[in-house]
Amino acid sequence: MSNFLFSFILAVLPLFGSASSGGFLQHEPAQALSPEQKSAVLAAIEEALGEKQRQTTEVRLGPIEALLAPTLNALPKNGNGKFGHKAARYALHRFFVQRHAWFVKGIDLNGDATPTEMLQNGVPDEVQTLFESRLGAQGLDAHEVAVMAATLENLAHTESMERLGWAYKLKGWKPGVSNMSGLLVDDLLDVYMASYVTGIDLSKMATGKRGVTRLLALADAYYPGFEDVRSFVRRVRNESTASLRSTLSSVDVSHVVTRIGDRYGRWQHYECEDLKTKLFAIEDDGTGRVSLSKFYNAALNHGHWQFTESIDYLRSLGALDESNPANPRVIVTNYLLSPSNCVASSSYYSVCCLDDCEDLVDNLEREIKAPAATPTRIVELVSAMPSPRTLANHTIPAHLLTRLGEIAAANEGMVPLHGRMFAQWMHHVYPRECPYPHLSGTTNPLRTDAFENQTGSKVSASKDEMQQCIADAPGIEGDVGIAWSHEDELYVEQAPPSERPSAWAIARFTVFFITALSTAFFVFRLGWGSGAEVHGDNFAKGHFV
């Protein structure tokens, strides 16, 4: 009997697995790229971009793969065991923000673009087609995501060398010049950085002293902190060349420029911290929000000239909380992270304020190592996590524990880490660190010039508008809570159903198994009874013959 039942169950179990598409008895995911396949990807880049680009990409891959690993380990994979375009875009965004404070164009988390679009106009069509075909066919392997990151780093480096070449021309020097003193190099780097922070195209500037003077004057006028930029550049140059000879070559200068590009994003964050300090000094108690009347009052009466954005522009940026229309409030984190506080550094990326929430999410991903977790596990980790403005071992309010339970209840008992609802929950727990996550398409964050060109509206409020806002404020600032929205969306693709069976899958399997077992017993008993009668007849006939 046991052999019969075992054979029967082996026969019907595959039917159960196929009837439940994507169930916990799903197929094994595809294996990672073989060394030969990895080499083929790099070979395609070499064919399109040249051997030097391939070699540079290959050298960068090890550190990049190590930095990407914690994020990729926490992201869902598709049925092929690969990362879809949303997951790849998410991982690349996190990588460039954490490594360089670069906000790369084309990989906005709320956008629909594939990550290959960040390479547009920078690589030949063959390379972009290579990535698109792999991404579209089955997704990207972790190695291929790293290759994309390394390729963009190479493109950004090439662009910086082109800008440096134009800086030489503007100064009237040949790019291969050698035996430059530190002072001459500093003058050259001033020209380079003036273009870097303002976005001015050096190829359109007049050459010689007149062009240099005009460029530096524009940098000082448009970028009030340019004198601090000069000090930063001199410090990097001194650190990079202290062990070299007293005069420097163009190769030495190229190395300095590379180091500036790697370090500038995190260095310039001090300006964001200054803005943050000023805003939190007038914050509505612990909400991460500042009443618009206080915002404008700081500009008109306290010398904080930065806080003059119009209501329309703040709304477009997603930096205005209008849940109480009588008391609109500026959401500090959204305001700081908006394009209005970015530097037009490159055709590939902008340097913006750092997102404090990135470090918090990174810590969760490192600990959880999965796309989702139980509410209990998340509460355990989050309550122990300190932030720049929240102590470790803090107590999460009861109403937020309820909210987290609601998110889990809508997702089979698990909380997806890469969805809008969890991002909103993090904003409520850390309102001073984590931005409020607007639904895709409800905001339109633009740089100041792009906003004015598209809308015809001014980015700054007039003095009269600000004064009117202040005059209307008394008596209307009562509600200082943070509203909760129930709309959800995922920033990455959903994973196929987990190999770990859900409660419904277990129940369904139990019912099926009991039914199969009952059928097996019936068939066995029927067969056993028939067999007994036959053998009995034979025995009787043989005995009496």
Q: At what angle do helices 226-241 and 209-222 cross, to 10 degrees?
A: 120
Span 103-119, pLDDT tens digits:
888 787 666 667 777 77
pLDDT at 289: 96
**284 φ, ψ (degrees, to nearest 5):** -70, 125
The model's confidence at residue 138, banded by pLDDT at 50, 70 and 90, is confident
Name the burial class of residue 454, with classes exposed (0-12), middle (13-18) and buried (19+) by CB atoms within 10 angstroms of its CB: exposed
Nearest to 289 by CA among 242, 327, 338: 327
Mean pLDDT of 200-208: 88
Is 189 in contact with 258 (CB distance < 8 Å)?
no
Angle, CA of 31, 368 and 336, to the nearest 5°: 110
| Mean pLDDT for all residues in the chain | 81
The model's confidence at residue 420, banded by pLDDT at 50, 70 and 90, is very high
Is 57 in contact with 150 (CB distance < 8 Å)?
yes
Is 56 in contact with 112 (CB distance < 8 Å)?
no
How do strand 320-321 and strand 102-104 relate by DSSP bridges? Answer: unpaired
Is 216 in contact with 190 (CB distance < 8 Å)?
yes
pLDDT at 374: 98
Mean pLDDT of 44-68: 72
Span 421-478, pLDDT tens digits:
999 999 999 999 999 999 988 999 998 989 999 999 999 999 999 999 999 987 655 5
Helices (H) and strands (E) in the chain, counts: 21, 7
Residue 521 has pLDDT above 50, yes or no: no
Residue 1 has pLDDT above 90, yes or no: no
Span 3-52, pLDDT tens digits:
433 333 333 333 333 333 333 223 333 345 555 555 555 565 555 555 66
Span 286-331, pLDDT tens digits:
899 999 999 999 999 998 988 999 999 999 999 999 999 889 999 9
**83 φ, ψ (degrees, to nearest 5):** -100, 130
**343 φ, ψ (degrees, to nearest 5):** -105, 130
Determine the Cα–Cα distance for residues 24 and 445; give it in Å rounded to an integer: 42
Mean pLDDT of 379-383: 97
What Rg, from alpha-carbon coordinates, does the chain have? 31
* Location of structure tokens 């309550």: 383
pTM listed for this prediction: 0.79
Angle, CA of 328, 482 and 420, to the nearest 5°: 110
- Residues 6+ away with beta carbon under 8 Å from 192: 163, 164, 167, 257
Rounded to 10 degrees, what is the CA torsion of 124, 130, 131, 135?
150
Is 88 in contact with 145 (CB distance < 8 Å)?
yes
Mean pLDDT of 130-137: 67
Of the chain, the end-to-end C-alpha distance in Å amounts to: 33
Distance of CA 373 to the CA centre of its chain: 19
Residue 383 has pLDDT above 90, yes or no: yes
Neighbours of 339 (CB within 10 A): 17
Residue 530 has pLDDT above 70, yes or no: no
- Residues 6+ away with beta carbon under 8 Å from 245: none
Determine the Cα–Cα distance for residues 399 and 422; give it in Å rounded to an integer: 14
- Could you tell me which residue, 285 or 279, shows the higher pLDDT? 279
